[in-house]
Structure 1
Amino acid sequence: MQAWPEFVTVKEVGPRDGLQNESSHIPTNVKIEWINLLSEAGFISIEISSFVHPKWIPQLKDAKEVATAIRRNDQITYAALVPNKKGLEAAIETNVDEVAVFISASESHNQNNINKSIEQTYPVLREVVEEAKYHQKRVRGYLSTAFGCPYEGDVPIQQVIDVAARLLDMGIDEISFGDTIGVANPKQVDDMLTKIKQELDMERVAMHFHNTHGMALANVLVSLEHGVTTFDSSLGGLGGCPYAKGASGNLATDDLVHMLHQMGIETGIQEDRMREAASYIQEALGKPLPSHQMQVINRMKQGESL
């Protein structure tokens, strides 16, 4: 019988990764209220926005306003994505608790994403990491295309691990291995984590799955078997990658939390308050959220039988 962990950390990335692809403008006050609802639901880590240039992600151009207006809870880590030192400066000004940097495991995706080779990206990230550490910020690293690239296809496992090792050597506290286009399958995750356990510190490993082909929860299960206890997810299944066509649908936080709780694994998240937060952003967006939990709620609201 598998010995499951007693507690899993669920990192909510909806306010950043979930909203960045939305074409319709989401008012700043809506983002603020949504984050406040997430805080009240018991999340211990919320990625609130991204300090990138507005021309790249216009939806998140109000990152400063959001970061300074939310109701902070000292028990919650409020994180933000930063692309470079300038973005870091803005994040520090707003006193976020954690900054996240990003790089791809495949050359083509890295070039398309940030217009630099992987090797050219390391000095930029190192500068951010050193400055963030000077300001006593926790630093997280997103490693995109860890399970497949929209331009190159399969990415060798050793190549993924080599990039991750370089990030950890810089002093990054945690690496989130991203299934950017949602192609990971349970066997692939098993193979990847078997190798990662031989070369990296598993306590600094997190997983970021997309549900493009419906395998995200199965991939979480395999990850749990390997001892992974930190997962990124987006409430309602919002979001994807703006630089990977068709990669919509993050792992849905509400589906993940429901599964974990049914397995007897604690998260600290209150499911009823989480559903309130999901319903709030669904109404603000004016469209149904794709998660299974929200589909059930929406059908019940319409009086349909389950």
Structure 2
Amino acid sequence: MTADTATDVFEEHRPVLLGVAYRMLGRLADAEDVVQDAWLRWSAADRAAVREPRGYLVRVTTRLAIDRLRQIRTRGETYVGPWLPEPYATDFADTVPDTAERAVLADSVSLAVLVVLESLSPLERAVFVLREAFGYPYAEIAAMLDRGEAAVRQLAGRARRHVDERRPRYDVDPAQRRDLTERFLTAAAGGDLQGLMSLLAPDVRLVGDSGGKAQAPLRVLESADKVGRFLVGAARKSGAGLSFRLLELNGGPAALVLSGDKPDSVFQLDVADGRIQAVYIIRNPDKLRALAA
């Protein structure tokens, strides 16, 4: 395999590798670093002995991501306020035509699920991602992780139960989410408290991630009254000069708020029964850099 061919093969599988690494880490910069390390391993490997490049590359990427997760947890870094994953631009409608498969991929990369995955062990997270998001057979996952198939099945069952118990159940209809996102932005930007209250579920939650580097609630807000009043107050303080752009992030519609041409924040909503059940706001500037383009 020539150098050019090796590059072509790697680039063909890069989207899958980045998808695995991002779901494992919840941090785009770390995921890109892991994929770059996988490229270095691939470029130095005896590629003539590799019968299945995709499987080899996913195995290398998964192991590197597990190592990165363990390093992050060993450092014991503290985070100011609630933590949310770094926004990840997705466009499954263009790349995955099958509705059922697209729904699975979108769910596996949603903010709500990735927050739950943070509480899994690195091995549990790897097994869950490979099995639930990418559909790998248990035998292949066992080979990738150098574990017995029975052990992998146990890890998968434990991880699935953990996720099912903790992740909220929300509608995934993108048209409804987009409509409510547009109405939410109109009401919030206009300081329309009554308009917001008509959209928010009584027990709605607002999770703001600033990392202590921007203004956002340091605790999760709960109830329509608290969330609505916070949003109206924030709109009044921000003043003019903000614009909004709708795009797809983490498998669903989201709003990128721009101050001039600089990303200020990202809003995403979870929806059920025609009401907004959760509002996610990401304001940590470190997590918005990839959206600057």
Identify whether the pair has TM-score above 0.5, normalized to the shorter chain: no
Higher relative contact order (CA 8 A, sep 6+): 1
Pair member with larger Rg = 2
TM norm structure 1: 0.25
TM-score w.r.t. the length of structure 2 is 0.26
Higher relative helix content: 2
